[in-house]
Amino acid sequence: MAKIKTVYEDCDILVVGGGMAGTGAAFEARHWGRDLKIICVEKANIDRSGAVAQGLYAINCYMGMQWGENQPEDHVRYARNDLMGLVREDLGYDMARHVDSSVHMFDEWGLPMMRNEKTGRYLREGKWQIMIHGESYKPIVAEAAKKSADKIYNRVMITHLLMDESKDNRVGGAVGFNMRTGNFHVFRAKAVIVAAGGASHIFKPRAVGEGMGRTWYAPWSNGSAYALPIAVGAKMTQMENRIVLTRFKDGYGPVGAYFLHLKTYTQNANGENYEEKWYDQTKELVGDYIDHTPVPTCLRNHAFIEEVKAGRGPIQMVTTEAFQDPHLEEIGWENFLGMTVGQAVVWASQDIDPKYTNPELTTSEPYVMGSHATCSGAWVSGPEDLSPPEYFWGYNRMLTVDGLFGAGDTVGGSAHKFSSGSFTEGRLAAKAAVKYIEDLKAEDINVSEKQCEDFKEVIYKPLENYTIGQNEITGGTVSPSYILPIQGLQRLQKIMDEYVGGVGVNYMTNDNLLKRGLELLATLQEDLEHIGAEDYHQLMRAWELKHRTLTSQCVTEHTLFREETRWPGYYYRGDHMKLDDENWHCLTVSRRDPKTGKFTLEKAPLYHIVDEKEENESA
């Protein structure tokens, strides 16, 4: 341990994660806090990090208010409908009213936007999506962050938040390590914005072995956004609301542009429209929600899953008609080249030409995130002018720990933010964090040397476990004294898959399975004390796994608490197969006691701030 160098950095605002939300936060923090010291810490390199690393083909959240295309109210209705009634409408409205200004900045900064030749407006892919040549999306927003922050630390993974020792429940910074140099980094900060992305790889992926990294959500999204706040006792919401995606099989290529722009459609193996066949059965489960327009994403998944269970798979996307048009064929391929090159490679390697073969679709393993079509994440304060008292405690996007803010995938309850909305939420959080500091709420923070040194010991322990334990084996990777990160990861995925509703059980779980899953997760937590890492890269894998496991415990607790099947197609509670609005038209909120590790759960009221009268007009 003596060999490990400690690097100290004191700052005003610390941004953890330089993805879409983190870059937005760094940019906006500078705008409001001209003289503040702003630091951004990123596990990878912000030029190509996070879910947008490879680029995107569409910005999925743009109102188009300047042209009267949509208003924020419309977006709230849309997200509420898609999430079966349960969203934080204050957060959604707040993001939606600001998101256009973020997109206009991307345009100014040089992001190639597609335009409608007739109207001159941004080219719409759907009601909310606009099309871009988005390979350069991430480097462009990274540049804005680099110009705004005092310093960007790349290749530093944050493992723990520091807490103020002079005032209860106030954040004091964060610690982590550089996975190339091995240096220990201490960031003492007045306010921390967690923007560390969602969680993939906590459920067993469909692609295993040689295809292990092939998941829909970025495989490096490891749940730090949830584990960091959970570990210090911040409240979380809707963590049961994991998401399952219908995507092209094996490459996870997105289907949005195919449905919306190419007007392709799905069919079962017999060439039948299967969705309508499941209408009556779905109505039995969820009542009128099946009649909403557009049909909520989870319910479309439900029909897919049932049809495959009934033995009429594979489900295919009918591309052979649209691809006869050379223009649409070009768009179909380009759609992947700008954001999911792997899908094009998979098709090439499997001899699939979508002009002549209708490619298979699949439903993915579940993911946990707060920025896509789902709501998992931290329980945060909303904006002063919109939020009812239960949703407001002083500063926009502040978690239930003072001085700790969140944005993007971190924040729960506000679905359908996507890239532009996450960047916008980073801006909102940063503006509030600056105000928090200016209001002198972060004075006299005390983070002792001891607190940092204690973390240093904990963080590097896996290296020590390996160094000592490897002497007991003569070859191979199985040790009596430690488990390797990959072994622990596979155990976690198996537990989550079998007990918490993964692909292996057709997304089904129940009270007994969840309780057993919690027991197995607790044992895994104990065993993770003995995880071994052979180098700094594996040390990162070890900490990624620890964050995934804590996130998984929270997901499982939430899934156990909500005694209904609110989102069939995302997961099923076999012991409560129906949606139950009478008892569960509410948000779920959890808190893990940092001292005991025990979770407590409660129901939080759901406020409908936007009226419902035009609900069915969103398309």
Ligand X SMILES: Cc1cc2nc3c(=O)[nH]c(=O)nc-3n(C[C@H](O)[C@H](O)[C@H](O)COP(=O)(O)OP(=O)(O)OC[C@H]3O[C@@H](n4cnc5c(N)ncnc54)[C@H](O)[C@@H]3O)c2cc1C
**Residue 50 makes contact with ligand X by CB under 6 A:** yes
Contact 560, 511 (CB under 8 A): yes
Residue 337-356 contact track with ligand X, rule CB under 6 A, x = bound: --------------------
Which residue from 15, 22, 238, 566 is in contact with ligand X, where contact means CB under 6 A?
22
Minimum CB–partner distance for residue 556 and ligand X (Å): 21
**Binds ligand X (CB under 6 A): choice among 29, 39, 40, 41:** 41
Shortest Å, Cβ 481 to ligand X: 27
Report 248-287 residues binding ligand X (CB under 6 A): 254
**For ligand X, which is the closer residue by CB, 282 or 552?**
552
Least Å from the CB of residue 254 to ligand X: 6
Q: Which helix (H) or strand (E) holds 74?
A: helix 72-82
Q: Rounded CA gap, 106 and 420, in Å?
A: 9
Helix or strand holding residue 489 (H, E): helix 485-500
Q: What is the full DSSP assignment across 345-410?
A: HHHHHTT--TTTS--BEEEPPPBB-SSSSS--EE-----TTT--GGG-SSSTTB-SSBTEEE-GGG
Phi/psi for 110 (5° steps) reads 110, 10
Q: Which of 59, 113, 361, 531 binds ligand X (CB under 6 A)?
A: 59
Cis amide bond preceding 314, omega within 30 = yes
CA 592/CA 233 separation, integer angstroms: 5
Q: Nearest distance from residue 102's CB to ligand X, in Å?
A: 11
Binding mask 568-587 for ligand X (x = CB under 6 A): --------------------
60, 238, 335, 493: which one contacts ligand X (CB under 6 A)?
60
Output the DSSP codes for 394-438.
SSTTB-SSBTEEE-GGGB-S----HHHHHHHHHHHHHHHHHHHHH
Contact pattern from residue 224 through residue 243 relative to ligand X, giving x for each residue in contact according to CB under 6 A and a dash for the rest: x-------------------
**Nearer CB in complex with ligand X: 26/447:** 26
Nearer to ligand X, 130 or 513 (CB): 130
Q: Which of 85, 172, 173, 197 binds ligand X (CB under 6 A)?
A: 197
Residue 218 interacts with ligand X (CB under 6 A): yes or no: yes
CA–CA gap between residue 57 and residue 19 (Å, rounded): 17
Neighbour tally for 512: CB within 10 Å: 11
Total residues at the site for ligand X (CB under 6 A)?
41
Rounded least distance, CB 562 to ligand X, Å:
24
| 196 binds ligand X, rule: CB under 6 A | yes
CA pair distance 330, 345, nearest whole angstrom: 16
Cα dihedral value 217, 403, 90, 194, nearest 10? -10
Cβ neighbours for 574, distance < 8 A, ≥ 6 positions apart = 508, 509, 510
99 binding ligand X? (CB under 6 A)? no
Nearest to 391 by CA among 581, 605, 233, 96: 605
In the complex with ligand X, which residue's Cβ is closer, 18 or 569? 18
Site for ligand X in 401-430 (CB under 6 A): 408-409, 418-420, 422
Stretch that binds ligand X, among 164-172, 216-224, 293-301, 307-315 (CB under 6 A): 216-224
Region near ligand X per CB under 6 A, out of 42-50, 285-293, 345-353, 385-393:
42-50
CB of 475 to ligand X, least distance (A): 33
Residue labelled with tokens 């950095």: 9
43 counts as binding ligand X under rule CB under 6 A? yes
Query: Cβ-closest residue to ligand X?
Result: 19
CB nearer to ligand X: pick between 422 and 493 = 422
Question: What burial class does residue 168 get, using C-beta atoms within 10 Å of its C-beta: 0-12 exposed, 13-18 middle, 19+ buried?
Answer: exposed
Q: Which residues bind ligand X (CB under 6 A)?
A: 16-22, 41-44, 49-52, 56-60, 157-158, 195-197, 216-218, 220-222, 224, 254, 371-372, 408-409, 418-420, 422
